[in-house]
Structure 1
């Protein structure tokens, strides 16, 4: 049976590019968003490139739904070889105006969803002693900016989860990686909301989703004696 690559948070930019990259690499891409209908353009793209795809709509914060997702993929597609958590939840708000409800939701999207994916992936990968679990981080994973208390808290928690998983699962044959994407990405949101920043694209000053995705595939293929746990990606012009 062919292997599967589950991408939680397969949006129109980075997540979709990651799904398409793993499909080109020979796995069956399983892009996941809240609604399956939103994945139709991505599924068409993957099919047009000769890849295989099973689009699934589910809520990554729902424990039962995540268990069902992995059960379905293993039954209908094949063993999960790669699991990627790519939910962003980047929503700025002053600490003076932040609410408990919003803060909790951001944490659920960033951290709880990542935990549920990692646990379900690990439960299936460990008996086979192989597999790759990757988490998409951000600048907020390593430093909290003004107005990003909720996002930084969630992304810091996700980074800690990745470290804990790597230490426990590495000896069991599972490669766990955390990718810090530090910089603006070539998306419709950046183009429409930050035109000055988007103008840097002409000089390779913002991240190309396809180039980000290529690094995820590279991590999956790393030999066990030279695994990368944390990889940071940023344009040459980004300060760090």
Structure 2
């Protein structure tokens, strides 16, 4: 039986690396984003199916899972990547933008986790992975909304990992503590591997997915060798 992997908040960075790796492992891949035009090239490259979804809206999330289930089968691997970074001095922050940041970064994670768990509990197995950041454990100046969202997401993961692991659902949180390399963001010539390689990050997700349940981890931190912590 082919495994279906759903990546929510898909784009051209880490999500693309995950999608390519999952497809190479023989999984059927579903990609979800608010704007799916940006996913057309990747979808054609690996044979993925794209779905429009605002992860902060319950109706969108429920429709997403129904659509994926109908076209590819119920997903047994779900990755939650969306976040919204709002920065500024505390006294200058727009409350509506802060609320939006929390909705996308944390509340959407709850919605996706709930929809995924409902299906995985019926199947008796599954994995739900969440992408965190340095802000998951460190609140930086002028970045309170992002820290609030990422701290909340980490708390969600820790709680549901304890709840769902005994029911054969592996829940894990990946703290990406550093800058991810991209086409527009490259290392200086004298600092090789000073940025996180998205393909290397994706490999770690796959390694965690393959863990025997006698030795599951709920959280892993990833950072390049030059990053302080």
- Per the normalisation by structure 1, the TM-score is 0.91
| Aligned counterpart, 2:112 | 117
Q: 1:102 to 1:67 in 2, by over 3 A?
A: same
| Residue 101 (structure 2) pairs with residue 106 (structure 1) | yes
Cα distance, 1:200 vs structure 2: 6.5
SS in structure 1 at match of 2:76: strand
| Residue 229 (structure 2) pairs with residue 234 (structure 1) | no
SS in structure 1 at match of 2:227: coil
Distance (Å, rounded) in 2 between the aligned partners of 1:188 and 1:3? 30
Cα distance, 1:187 vs structure 2: 2.2
CA-to-aligned-CA distance 1:43-95 (integer Å, 9 cap, x gap): 1221xxxxx31111111111011111111111211131100001132332221
| Residue 194 (structure 2) pairs with residue 205 (structure 1) | yes
Q: How does 1:166-185 map to 2 (within 5 A)?
A: 166-185=161-180
Q: Could you say what the CA RMSD is over the residues aligned between the two structures, in angstroms? A: 1.4
Q: Is the 8 A contact 2:65 2:74 kept in 1?
A: no
Q: How does 1:71-82 map to 2 (within 5 A)?
A: 71-82=66-77
Give the gaps of 5 or more residues in structure 1: 47-51, 192-197
| Residue 23 (structure 2) pairs with residue 23 (structure 1) | yes
Following TM superposition, the consecutive aligned residue runs of length 4 or more in structure 1 with deviations greater than 6 angstroms are none
Cα distance, 1:217 vs structure 2: 1.1
Give the gaps of 5 or more residues in structure 2: none
Distance (Å, rounded) in 2 between the aligned partners of 1:134 and 1:53? 19
Q: Is the 8 A contact 2:14 2:199 kept in 1?
A: yes
Q: How many residues align?
A: 229
Q: Is the 8 A contact 2:86 2:97 kept in 1?
A: no
